[in-house]
Amino acid sequence: MAVSSMERCVDMNSKVDIETREVNLLVEAIKVFSGYDLSGYAKSSLKRRVKAYIDSVGLKSISELIPLLAHNENYRQKLINDLTVNVSDLFRHPHSYLKMNELVFPYLSSFPRINIWVAGCASGEEVYSIAIILKEFGLLNRAKIYATDINTETLEQAKSGVLRKNLQREDAMRYQMSGGADSLSRYFSTGYGKQKLSQSLLDHIHFTSHNLVQDSVFCSCELVLCRNVMIYFDFDLQNRVLDLLFDSVVNNGYLVIGAKESLDTSRIFRSLKVIDDESRIYQRKAT
C-alpha cells in the first residue's frame, strides 16, 4: 500500500517529537544519576550532539542511554565527557590576544599579584596561549592562572601540557597575528613524537574541575576568560553564568567572553565598560 506524503510527514513529526522527549528524559536521568544539570543547555544543539553520539556508539535510540547511566557507574562521567564540545586551538581569535596585550596587560602590570581564571578550558590550548602571551609581556611570574572544566578527560589532557595536535603552520601564524614576539615552538619540548608545553609555563597553571552551572564563585580574579562555552547554553543559563563570572572579577578587573557570544542584554552589562567590542573584552566598573 502506498504511503502518502501527508502520512510520511506525520510520521517524521512524531519521530522528531519522540526524540525531543527522549532528550528531556535523558537530561533528567543525567541529573539523577550523574548530578550534572544540563537543563539549561540549548536544546537543539544538545539534541544534535546526543543523536551524533548514539550513532557513533551504535545505539538505536536515545532512551537506550538511560539504563546505561543507571547501571554503569563508569558511564556517568564518560557520557558528560562525550557530550561536551571541546574544540579549542592555540591563539584562537588572535585579535583578542592583541587587544589584551594593548589594553588589559598594561593595567594588570600595576598589580603585585594577578589571578586569572580560564573557565571552560577544554584541552588547554587557550590557557597555554595566555601563559605564553603573559610570559612575553613579563607578567607570568606574578600570575596565578586557574583553568577549569567539567570534562575530566580533556582536563587531564590539559594538565599534562601535551598538545592534542602537534604544532601546525596555522598555529604559528595565529601566534604571530596575536602579537607573539618569538618562535612558538620555543615554548614546547618534543618527546615520543608529542609536543608538550614547557614545565616553567605549566607550573603557573592550576587545573581543576569546576561546573559553571552548579558550582559557586570560583575566585577573586583580575582577569576572567570564558570563551566559546556559553554558546551552548540557553538565554537564562547564559545570564546565570554571566552573574557568576562577574562576581569572580574584582573591581576594575576584566572579563573576556567569546567573539560569537554577547552580554549586551544581560544584567551585568550596565556594570561593565566595553574595552574592545570585537574581542568582547569588558572591564568591571568600580563600585
Ligand X SMILES: C[S@@+](CC[C@H](N)C(=O)[O-])C[C@H]1O[C@@H](n2cnc3c(N)ncnc32)[C@H](O)[C@@H]1O
Q: Can you give the binding site for ligand X, defined by CB under 6 A?
A: 84-88, 92, 120-122, 126, 149-151, 154, 211-213, 227-229
In the bound state with ligand X, the residue whose beta carbon lies nearer, of 113 and 150, is: 150
Q: How far is the CB of 249 from ligand X (least distance, A)?
A: 17
Beta strands in 132-209 (DSSP E): 143-149, 188-191, 194-197, 205-209
Total Cβ atoms within 10 A of residue 277 = 9
- Give me the amino acid identity at 281: I
Q: Do strands 221-226 and 205-209 pair parallel, antiparallel, or not at all (unpaired)?
A: unpaired
Q: How far is the CB of 223 from ligand X (least distance, A)?
A: 14
In the bound state with ligand X, the residue whose beta carbon lies nearer, of 126 and 222, is: 126
Cell matching residue 41: 543547555
In the bound state with ligand X, the residue whose beta carbon lies nearer, of 149 and 222, is: 149
Q: How far is the CB of 103 from ligand X (least distance, A)?
A: 19
In the bound state with ligand X, the residue whose beta carbon lies nearer, of 132 and 229, is: 229
Q: How would you write 72-114 as a 3-class SS string?
A: CHHHHHHHHHHHCCCCCCCCCCHHHHHHHHHHHHHHHCCCCCE
Those residues whose C-beta lies under 8 Å from the C-beta of residue 238, and which sit 6 or more positions away, are 230, 261, 266
In the bound state with ligand X, the residue whose beta carbon lies nearer, of 111 and 173, is: 173
Q: How far is the CB of 40 from ligand X (least distance, A)?
A: 9
The DSSP code sequence of 213-235 is TTS-----EEEEEE-SSGGGB-H
Q: How far is the CB of 150 from ligand X (least distance, A)?
A: 4
- How far the first Cα of the chain sits from its last, in Å, is 73
- Give me the amino acid identity at 180: G
In the bound state with ligand X, the residue whose beta carbon lies nearer, of 219 and 252, is: 219
Instruction: From 69, 42, 40, 36, select the one nearest 54 (Cα to Cα).
Output: 69
Q: How far is the CB of 178 from ligand X (least distance, A)?
A: 13
